[in-house]
Amino acid sequence: MSGKTRNPALAEFLRLVSGVAESADQGHFELGLLSLRQAIEADDTTTVLHHLGAAREAFDRRLPVSCRHRRSARISHATDPA
């Protein structure tokens, strides 16, 4: 959806959709894609990093809590010095 339009109201609509249990996964996924597009189109590093962080957050919200916990454990294990 976010790839087909640049309507500024889309982000607000997707935030609303993300708050509805039956459509939350799709809403978060679309918000993540929208943030990725904004990161790609950004002019400076700070803005790119901001939008990449927002994308990751949206994609993480799409995962069930149990998957988020396993993913974060793998990431922290991989980044801890041995």
pLDDT band for 32, please (50, 70, 90 cuts): very high
Is 49 a member of any domain?
yes
What is the mean pLDDT of the segment spanning 37-61? 96
pLDDT band for 55, please (50, 70, 90 cuts): very high
> Does pTM surpass 0.75?
no
Give the total number of structural domains in the chain: 1
Distances from the Cα of 64 to the Cα of 1, 28, 51, 56, 72, angstroms: 23, 12, 22, 14, 12
Is 3 a member of any domain?
no
56 has a pLDDT exceeding 60: yes
Is 15 a member of any domain?
yes
Is 66 a member of any domain?
yes
**Residue-range definition of the domain harbouring residue 42:** 9-79
pLDDT at residue number 81? 53
Which residues lie below 8 Å from residue 42, measured CB to CB, with a gap of 6+?
48, 50, 51
pLDDT averaged over every residue in the chain: 81
pLDDT at residue number 71? 52
CA atoms within 13 A on the CB side of 62: 19
